[in-house]
Chains A and B, each alone.
Chain A
Amino acid sequence: MYVLQQFLIDQLIIVLNGLSRASTLFLLGTGLSLVYGMLNFMNLAHAAFLPLGAYLSASLIRRTTGVVGDSLGFVGLFVVFLVVLLLVVPAIASMVGLVMEQALFEPLYDLEDDYHLLATFGIILMMEDSMKFVWGGQPVSATAPADLLGTFSIPGGTYPWWSILTILITAAIAGTLYYFLEATRLGRITLAMAEDKEIVSVSGIDTRSIHLKIFVISVGLAALGGALYLPGASITTGLSLEFVILAFAVLVIGGLGSLKGAIVASLIIGLVQAYGTYYIPQLALAAVFLLMAAVILVKPTGLFGEIDA
């Protein structure tokens, strides 16, 4: 009986770990997928907005704690943290993304795919170095929001409430995005642009404006991924390069340009990594790419995509 109970607890923790991981991957991968779907533009530099969001969060959490930490109670401070992480950080990152879109990305749109990959990978490196210049090479952490929430007890240990909150917030965002794409005019235009941009364009819709809006939302989601990631971990240089590979796996497995695909692929990768790390740690990362290779072999467009990978 005890063995069964322990097994079930282990499974619960692994699933929670997987969902928490999937949340970060979803917030990152969805934007990448949407932008690719609309513009056929593979923006690898998208992954750098996740650490940017995390670094911004660290600075703002520390500043907030220093300025109002003593005057606000538990609830007040936590609400301020949520506002900072859920709204302020994505807003700042989106502004940065908007400027970069106009200055760096827009001139690349008409080039061949190879140039997209090369140029945006170069931009990742530039962004990495810029973040190192601003925040330094040492690990940066700001765990105050997670510390405020604390942990809950499970037999044999504890588990952080922050991870649960991250999963719930991400689920709510996934639902909202789904509604946005299926039920709002902007969302339907977005999907239509992914299908055939020229048809949408000749129908009098300002596709550039739509694209900018989606780009800003995508960057905001990636930064939010970083903001929710930071309180449970730390950030250091090189994180963009690590995440860009996984974000790419989300795209390939889920299908380019598909929200449903991004959700399912994030869940699969998160759970594969969690189970892999628990049972066969040496193969945890390889398992993700074996899965990716299998999907490409069986369905080259990805599980839910219609565009060739």
Chain B
Amino acid sequence: MRGAGAATAAASMGLAGCSNPASQSDSGGDGGGGGEIPGEPLRMACIGFTSGAASVFGVPMMQAAEMTVDRINENGGILGEREIEMEQFDENVDQVIQQYRRLATQEDFDIIIGYISSADALSVAPVAEELAQPTIIWDTGTTELFDTAVTDPQYVFRTCASSSTDTVGAARLLENAFSDVQTVAGANQDYAFGRNNWNLFTQAIESIGIDVEVVAARFTPFPTEDYSATISALSNVDPDFIFSSYWGGDAVNFITQANNQGLFEDTIPCFSAASHILGDVPNQIRDGFVFGARGPHAPFGALEWSQLHQQFVRNYQNEFNEAPYAHGAFHAWQAIWAYVYSIERAYNLTGTYPGKDQWISSMEGIGFDSPSGFVDMPRGSHNVVEPSLYGLADTSGDRLSLRDTSWTAPELVNPPPTMTTSEWLDSL
């Protein structure tokens, strides 16, 4: 019953028939692979920050990755026969490219999944193409990845939404849900992620033609622990709405100090990437604060009707004694299952275990249900698109959740595969 591993696992998780049939006749070249299911375990490297500030994402990601791989192996592994042997690596190293080259060439991993930092993903992606190493970027948001760094990707895929989803989604939120907002300000970290987010957000406002005035754009060093002067400057311009891509300790400090200085008394704060702090500092989150989750990755308040979502959140809580508020936990699930589905899909279509080229063909156009809803890799793209989700913090229950969630369809917050994000925004 080869291939039934996939079918069994998929059916048991409500996934049967979710792959995109459009590409099923297209299995590509041999790429040096093909044939029987290999007897030896599949070697998977997972790279994320397990130390440093970004470990707020990396640790939950590694936890979710471990949990996901364990579940797959409990069912026999890929295709029910091939176990996954996962090794974790800290992204917090000085020589990211050297680390990547070592994993790809000397340690010979079948698949490298990783990267949270935009800079790291941008550095590694061209090397992955050069080495023809199957690689999945699992968390990085920068739109530069496929807009400028690797414009014709073969071996690199991204299985999470880009920052386009978060920023254009926030602009659409202004258009549709907060149409009375007249003035907008930004508070973002002064590095690639913060700058990229703010630029995309303001470009989206202008291109969509939303009638608001941008009254301030504040960038703070990453990390910053004292926001008092930044908050004073924002208070002085008294915006109706603040867009912020702060995350981690920066988000906590900004919110804590802004609460103390009364910034949010008549200003709506919108955090595009900080939903992970809902579990860390619930007493600082006021009812009605707007949160995004780098895609639809909220454990409570969205998608709770989904059995797969419930199962993931419950398993994660049981195993780690905390809720998966960090969007990275969902990203890890998506990355690992995207790879497993693509292998199983190729095998089920051709009857042979895929080599690199067949794997690429199988990944292109893949679609599957996930704990965060349907994940879609449009044909012609190596980047998953997801809907944008924003919601208001709901502090009425025992645990924080999102209410009055606003969803925006993927095609309204992401460029088509033939355009860069900037080109698409200009064309709106």
Which of A20, A141, A157, A239 contacts B284, CB < 8 Å?
A: A141
- Tell me the bound Cα distance from A157 to B239 in angstroms: 13
Are A158 and B228 in contact, CB atoms less than 8 angstroms apart? no
Are A278 and B232 in contact, CB atoms less than 8 angstroms apart? yes
Are B256 and A233 in contact, CB atoms less than 8 angstroms apart? yes
Question: Does A45 sit at the interface, judged by CB under 8 A?
Answer: no
Question: Does B317 sit at the interface, judged by CB under 8 A?
Answer: no
Which of A232, A238, A277 contacts B230, CB < 8 Å?
A: A277
Q: Assuming A137-B56, A234-B281, is B252 touching A159 (CB within 8 A)? A: no
Question: Does B88 sit at the interface, judged by CB under 8 A?
Answer: no
Question: Does B183 sit at the interface, judged by CB under 8 A?
Answer: no
Are A284 and B221 in contact, CB atoms less than 8 angstroms apart? yes
- Tell me the bound Cα distance from A285 to B235 in angstroms: 22
Interface residues of chain A: helix, strand, loop or mixed (majority): helix
Are B51 and A132 in contact, CB atoms less than 8 angstroms apart? yes
Chain A 127-170 interface 0/1 with B at a Cβ cutoff of 8 Å (1 = within): 00100100001111101001100010100111110110000000
Chain B 265-294 interface 0/1 with A at a Cβ cutoff of 8 Å (1 = within): 100000000000100110110000000000
Which of B218, B261, B281 contacts A158, CB < 8 Å?
A: B261
Question: Does A281 sit at the interface, judged by CB under 8 A?
Answer: yes
Question: Does A235 sit at the interface, judged by CB under 8 A?
Answer: yes
Are B280 and A138 in contact, CB atoms less than 8 angstroms apart? yes
Question: Does B98 sit at the interface, judged by CB under 8 A?
Answer: no
Q: Assuming A141-B281, A238-B52, is B229 touching A273 (CB within 8 A)? A: yes
Kindly specify which of A10-18, A174-182, A215-223 makes contact with the partner chain. Answer: A10-18
With a 10 A CB-CB cut-off, give which of B232, B257, B277 has the most chain A CB atoms.
Answer: B232
A153 cross-chain contacts in B, Cβ below 8 A? 262
Are B281 and A233 in contact, CB atoms less than 8 angstroms apart? no
Q: Assuming A13-B232, A141-B284, A281-B218, is B225 touching A242 (CB within 8 A)? A: yes
Which of B55, B225, B229 contacts A17, CB < 8 Å?
A: B229
Q: Which chain A residues (1-55) contact chain B, with CB distance < 8 Å?
A: 6, 10, 13-14, 16-18, 20-21
With a 10 A CB-CB cut-off, give which of B219, B220, B226, B252 has the most chain A CB atoms.
Answer: B226
Question: Does B307 sit at the interface, judged by CB under 8 A?
Answer: no
Q: Assuming A157-B235, A274-B228, A274-B229, is B53 touching A232 (CB within 8 A)? A: no
Closest Cβ of chain B to A272, distance in Å, is 11
- Tell me the bound Cα distance from A239 to B252 in angstroms: 14
Q: Lowest 10 A-B CB distances belong to which pairs?
A: A236-B249, A158-B262, A277-B229, A137-B55, A160-B260, A17-B228, A234-B252, A157-B262, A139-B252, A139-B249
- A sample of 26 inter-chain contacts (CB < 8 A) reads A10-B236, A14-B229, A14-B232, A17-B226, A137-B55, A137-B56, A141-B280, A143-B284, A156-B235, A156-B238, A157-B262, A158-B260, A163-B228, A232-B257, A233-B252, A233-B257, A236-B53, A238-B223, A274-B229, A276-B229, A277-B220, A277-B229, A278-B230, A278-B233, A282-B219, A284-B221
